[in-house]
Structure 1
Amino acid sequence: MHAAGKGPAETPASLKMSSPANLMGFEGWVRASLYLSEFLRQLDWRTDTRSGAEAVSFSWRKPTFLSLHRPPMALFLEQVALMRDYMDLRGERSAEILTQLGYPIDYFAMILGLNSARNRFTFELIAATQVLTSHVAMIAKHHLACRRPDRLGTTVMPMISTPGHATFPSAHAAEAFAVATVIEGLLKAVKPLHHYPSTEKLVRLVFKQAERVAVNRTVAGVHFPIDSWAGAALGEAVGQIVLALCGAKSVKVTPRSYAARNIDFAVSAFRPDLWPGIPAEHADPNVTGFCREVDGHAVPVRRSSLFDWLWEKSLDEFRLS
């Protein structure tokens, strides 16, 4: 006699096709693969190689949401001189730089008191945002093909190995600002917060941390300040799309264009709305050389059941549900 007994086994009901309810039973890497596939199947890009107008533009189901213009070589050479001033910071920032070689999730987690036991899905949302942004950044790097600082200045002397891909835009800056944008959306979605202090101050801290991650790459000698500008523009755009996929309320994917000029990078200039009272010369984000908003309607992004599932799980963690 078989230990399982005689007769037919009970037949469980079939799982519902394409249902986000099935995600909980999947391993994390499987969900990560689904997030990436869901994002990339709606992303497109094109290059413009006309003389004086070299650029790569990204679109979401046809509408363009970001154009990055390739800086001329003369501008990169001007930025080499600007980079030398950052070398003095290497002594105090070397530990940070080394621990930020990968995806620096912990630096954002510390601000919000996140931990893996209580914020499992928030970490998953952050990690997915970083990976998606990294893929978009590599596409831009490939097409724009800009040389790294150590190829343009003998005095740069990077303190870490220069990555084997192009410099513009900075993927670290892109990933950091994408994460900051998504965290800003989370904080605003659960406002008023009963478990956190001021939402506005937390948002500023998160974006200041994103700036720190970006600038550390310049301190290390592997990125120009204009790389951070382009990376921040790309990261904010991807972060807005992630929020829209999640179904976050009040998010708008604003079409933008970035053409660099010889200025340093500062988050107060990139997001002046978070720092009222900044110097007048940095107060207008629409001037030439900054990330300029393009006239037109917001880019429509259809809500995704996959991202919506992850979003709701993350919101529950923020609410301590």
Structure 2
Amino acid sequence: MDHCLAGMPLRPLLQPEYYGSFCARRMQSNIDRTVFGEMCMRLASRIAINRTIAGVHFPMDSAVGAILGLTLADYIHALCDPTVGHLTSANFHGTAFPAADDFDWHTLYLAEDDLQRKISGPKSDPWATAVNQTTTSEMVSRPLAWLWKKAQSEWQNV
């Protein structure tokens, strides 16, 4: 594929079929869910810490954002994939969050199980709680399920 800039031909170093918008297909196909979940949480944590250092967020903001992001991702996954069978409902108890502490995402999410922890913080006064709820086939969105299957099929045999 040739492109021109001011009449001069430009040839890309990589052909478009070899790279994607998120990460390389070959790389992503070899990463299991645990490692991928860990990588995503580490990236989000770095961004959150930088925002705290920059003075635009408090650690509590990062904790609430992580809870919201994990809960929404779980909900959307349940809407897309009828085989999931559950979704997570989470609560944040702001007065119990240790204001002097930094937010550590490990207290909230188990990458190896791809689940939010049921209790985050001390058992006697947790700052976050999560409950798994069973989903039914009526909850699944047919258009989102179709899109989910299409996306999954693109990553087969890579």
Greater strand content: 2
Corresponding residue of 2:155: 318
Write out per-residue CA displacement over residues 6-41 of structure 1, whole angstroms, 9 at most, x where no aligned residue.
xxxxxxxxxxxxxxxxxxxxxxxxxxxxxxxxxxxx
Aligned mates of 2:48, 2:66 — CA distance in 1: 8
Aligned mates of 1:292, 1:117 — CA distance in 2: 31
Amino acid at match of 1:212: R
Q: Which residues in structure 2 correspond to 1:53-92 (within 5 Å)?
A: none
Q: Is the 8 A contact 2:75 2:88 kept in 1?
A: no
Write out per-residue CA displacement over residues 47-70 of structure 1, whole angstroms, 9 at most, x where no aligned residue.
xxxxxxxxxxxxxxxxxxxxxxxx
Which of residues 274, 277, 283 in structure 1 aligns to 2:111?
274
Amino acid at match of 1:268: H
Give secondary structure in 2 for the equivalent of 1:249.
coil
Aligned mates of 1:194, 1:225 — CA distance in 2: 31
Which of residues 85, 89, 101 in structure 2 aligns to 1:255?
89
Aligned mates of 2:31, 2:66 — CA distance in 1: 26
Corresponding residue of 1:305: 142
Amino acid at match of 2:36: L
Give secondary structure in 2 for the equivalent of 1:115.
coil
Q: TM-score, normalised by structure 1?
A: 0.34
Corresponding residue of 1:293: 130
Corresponding residue of 1:236: 70
Unaligned ranges ≥5, structure 2: 1-17, 113-118
Give secondary structure in 1 for the equivalent of 2:30.
coil
Following superposition, the deviation at residue 239 of structure 1 comes to: 0.7
Q: 1:255 to 1:116 in 2, by over 3 A?
A: closer
Q: Which residues in structure 2 correspond to 1:143-292 (within 5 Å)?
A: 195-250=29-84, 252-260=86-94, 261=97, 262=99, 263-271=101-109, 273-274=110-111, 285=120, 287=123, 288-292=125-129
Write out per-residue CA displacement over residues 266-311 of structure 1, whole angstroms, 9 at most, x where no aligned residue.
111111x337xxxxxxxx52633432135xx616460001211221
Aligned mates of 1:315, 1:293 — CA distance in 2: 28
Q: Is the 8 A contact 1:255 1:299 kept in 2?
A: no
Q: Is the 8 A contact 1:254 1:298 kept in 2?
A: yes
How many residue pairs get matched?
A: 126
Q: Is the 8 A contact 1:245 1:307 kept in 2?
A: yes
Corresponding residue of 1:30: none
Q: 1:274 to 1:199 in 2, by over 3 A?
A: closer
Following superposition, the deviation at residue 194 of structure 1 comes to: 9.5
Report the RMSD for the aligned CA atoms in angstroms: 3.4
Q: Is the 8 A contact 2:77 2:84 kept in 1?
A: no
Amino acid at match of 1:310: L
Unaligned ranges ≥5, structure 1: 1-112, 120-192, 276-283
Greater helix content: 1
Q: Is the 8 A contact 1:270 1:290 kept in 2?
A: no
Following superposition, the deviation at residue 251 of structure 1 comes to: 5.2
Aligned mates of 2:40, 2:79 — CA distance in 1: 21
Amino acid at match of 1:115: G
